[in-house]
């Protein structure tokens, strides 16, 4: 026996979800403010064009498991779960329009107050895309006020973002890249998984705001990928280089390109290659008379990130500190100082009046040669006056340690109680 599920909002997401839930044997009540959509679903017709959906709805309707209404209130007594799929379109200022979401939340709150006790909380699953903080600051307080009590006894609340793409929505429903559940307490919504039985995907049970943010991050990244791919395409095309041949090789590299490498929030990029070759690529675009704001933005963003780190250090330990900087070369296992963001950070801290000690086990100033030696000469004050061989002595008296790159075993050797700002892995509360 399947579940009885109400779906609020019969757009692309709501209708596809209804179709797939019917296929899986559940009973569905579709709800919308648009009478044409209510009528269509009532007749087992799809209000949207989406491959496979019409057939699934028609089959569910034939078996008497699909109905529709403009008012969910009277149905709440018989439902196990409500999925909220109303639209959250863009406003002129770029923010999302939350009025539909607020309106259905109010309806649910009022309906829940009247709902006969069933011994089980009604599960309200929000699937509409919403900005981080909406569940905690808008949805939960609205429900608590109207129901007269918080979640737990009469209702439970989850945020379960949808990752389907129009035109392959049914396929995506059964093979999602992941299942993300934002909830009050880890695992509390596990009952929701009943609707995902047979679907294999990594499951993440996380606080509301993390789940809300994931959806924005995913779509921002997808947009960034398209814009990046197109900028590369424009530069290639302007030089009579086959953009698809370049893309084929770029995409075939799943070690460095299409991979988690270079994506985790951490320190700025630097070293002898990335800044130099990005600048060279920007020069190619300039020569061809092309604007490539995504690529140019990467350079600008990197500078802003270093400034943000310096600002954060000022907040954690105002000048004169002292601050202990752990790491100076651009990454672990190398003494390469060329374009090292940590060298820039050290200069910035000294310029802002910090007392600074630097520890970097990868660096032996006596062994620097070539261009690396020239860079060292340019920054000789840091190397001569601030670089320490003895970590324990350098840490003595420091107010803050800044971990600029992973250094094995270094944390264990720091004095207990010395705060560490780890810029290699930005964390909650770092901002």
Ligand X SMILES: NC(=O)c1ccc[n+]([C@@H]2O[C@H](COP(=O)([O-])OP(=O)(O)OC[C@H]3O[C@@H](n4cnc5c(N)ncnc54)[C@H](O)[C@@H]3O)[C@@H](O)[C@H]2O)c1
Q: The tokens 């006056």 sit on which residue?
A: 385
Element housing 244 (H / E)? helix 243-252
Distance, in Å, from the CA atom of 356 to the CA atom of 188, rounded to the nearest integer, reads 48
Q: Which is nearer to ligand X, 12 or 354 (CB)?
A: 12
**90 - beta bridge partners?**
96
Q: Which is nearer to ligand X, 106 or 184 (CB)?
A: 106
Site size for ligand X (CB under 6 A): 25
- Nearest residue by C-beta to ligand X? 11
204 phi and psi angles, rounded to 5 deg = -125, 115
Q: How far is the CB of 260 from ligand X (least distance, A)?
A: 23
Taking alpha carbons only, the member of 418, 381, 24, 330 closest to residue 198 is 24
**Position among 6, 12, 188, 410 found at the interface with ligand X (CB under 6 A):** 12
> Judged by CB under 6 A, which stretch of 4-12, 285-293, 350-358, 404-412 contacts ligand X?
4-12
175 phi and psi angles, rounded to 5 deg = -135, 65
What distances in angstroms separate CA 107 from CA 13, 114, 203, one per listed residue? 20, 11, 30
Distance, in Å, from the CA atom of 165 to the CA atom of 222, rounded to the nearest integer, reads 12
CA end-to-end span of the chain: 49
Task: Give, as ranges, the residues between 32 and 91 that touch ligand X (CB under 6 A).
Answer: 32-34, 37, 85-88
Q: Which is nearer to ligand X, 6 or 151 (CB)?
A: 6
**Position among 5, 6, 7, 14 found at the interface with ligand X (CB under 6 A):** 14
The DSSP result for 164-183, as a single string, is: --TTSHHHHHHS-S-EEEE-
Distance, in Å, from the CA atom of 282 to the CA atom of 234, rounded to the nearest integer, reads 12
Is 236 a known active-site residue?
Answer: no
Binding mask 115-154 for ligand X (x = CB under 6 A): -------------xx-------------------------
- Asked if 104 interacts with ligand X (CB under 6 A), we say yes
**Which position among 20, 85, 236, 273 bears the catalytic label?**
273
- Asked if 164 interacts with ligand X (CB under 6 A), we say yes
Q: How far is the CB of 349 from ligand X (least distance, A)?
A: 43
Q: Which is nearer to ligand X, 101 or 398 (CB)?
A: 101
- Asked if 181 interacts with ligand X (CB under 6 A), we say no
> Judged by CB under 6 A, which stretch of 10-18, 180-188, 299-307, 396-404 contacts ligand X?
10-18
Q: Which is nearer to ligand X, 161 or 321 (CB)?
A: 161
Q: Which is nearer to ligand X, 7 or 376 (CB)?
A: 7
**Position among 7, 13, 326, 363 found at the interface with ligand X (CB under 6 A):** 13
Kindly provide the residue ranges of all beta strands, DSSP E only, lying in 41-103, ordered along the sequence. 66-69, 81-84
> Judged by CB under 6 A, which stretch of 73-81, 158-166, 291-299, 391-399 contacts ligand X?
158-166
How many other CB atoms sit within 10 Å of the CB of residue 338?
20
The DSSP result for 375-420, as a single string, is: HHHHTHHIIIIIEES-HHHHHTT-SEEEE-S--TTTGGGSPTT--E
**81 - beta bridge partners?**
5, 123
**Position among 55, 97, 103, 300 found at the interface with ligand X (CB under 6 A):** 103
Tell me how far the alpha carbon of residue 399 is from its chain's centroid.
Answer: 32
- Asked if 100 interacts with ligand X (CB under 6 A), we say yes
> Judged by CB under 6 A, which stretch of 5-13, 178-186, 202-210, 222-230 contacts ligand X?
5-13
Pair of tokens at residue 264: 């985790």
Catalytic residues: 273
Contacting positions for ligand X (CB under 6 A): 8-14, 31-34, 37, 85-88, 100, 103-104, 128-129, 162, 164-166
């Amino acid at each position: 026996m399947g579940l009885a599920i109400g779906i609020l909002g019969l757009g692309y997401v709501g209708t596809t979800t209804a179709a797939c839930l019917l296929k899986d044997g559940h009973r569905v009540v579709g709800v919308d403010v648009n009478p044409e959509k209510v009528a269509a679903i009532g007749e087992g017709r799809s209000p949207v064009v989406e491959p496979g959906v019409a057939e699934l709805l028609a089959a569910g309707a034939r078996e008497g498991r699909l109905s529709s209404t403009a008012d969910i209130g009277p149905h709440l007594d018989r439902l196990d779960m409500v999925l909220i799929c109303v639209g959250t379109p863009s406003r002129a200022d770029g923010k999302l329009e939350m009025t539909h979401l607020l309106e259905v939340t109010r309806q649910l709150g009022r309906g829940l107050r009247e709902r006969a006790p069933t011994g089980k909380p009604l599960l309200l699953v929000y699937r509409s895309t919403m900005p981080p903080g909406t569940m905690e600051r808008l949805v939960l307080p609205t429900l608590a006020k109207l129901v007269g009590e918080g979640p737990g006894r009469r209702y439970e609340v989850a945020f379960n973002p949808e990752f389907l793409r129009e035109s392959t929505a049914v396929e995506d429903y059964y093979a999602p890249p992941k299942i993300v559940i934002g909830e009050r307490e880890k695992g509390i919504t596990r009952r929701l998984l009943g609707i995902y039985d047979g679907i294999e995907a990594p499951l993440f049970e996380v606080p509301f705001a993390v789940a809300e943010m994931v959806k924005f991050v995913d779509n921002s990244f997808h947009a960034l990928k398209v814009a990046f791919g197109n900028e590369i395409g424009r530069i290639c095309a302007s030089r009579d280089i086959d953009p698809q041949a370049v893309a084929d090789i770029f995409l075939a590299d799943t070690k460095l390109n299409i991979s988690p490498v270079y994506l985790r929030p951490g320190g700025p990029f630097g070293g002898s290659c990335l800044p130099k070759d990005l600048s060279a690529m920007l020069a190619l675009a300039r020569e061809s008379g092309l604007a490539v704001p995504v690529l140019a933005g990467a350079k600008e963003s990197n500078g802003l990130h270093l400034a943000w780190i310096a600002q954060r250090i000022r907040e954690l330990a105002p000048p004169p500190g002292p601050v202990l900087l752990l790491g100076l070369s651009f990454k672990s296992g190398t003494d390469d100082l060329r374009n090292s963001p940590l060298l820039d950070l050290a200069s910035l801290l000294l310029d802002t009046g910090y007392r600074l000690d630097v520890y970097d086990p990868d660096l032996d100033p006596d062994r620097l040669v070539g261009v690396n030696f020239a860079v060292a000469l340019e920054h000789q004050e840091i190397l001569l006056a601030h670089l320490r061989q003895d970590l324990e002595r350098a840490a003595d008296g420091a107010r803050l340690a800044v971990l600029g790159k992973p250094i094995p075993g270094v944390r264990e050797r720091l004095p207990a109680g010395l705060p560490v700002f780890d810029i290699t892995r930005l964390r909650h509360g770092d901002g």
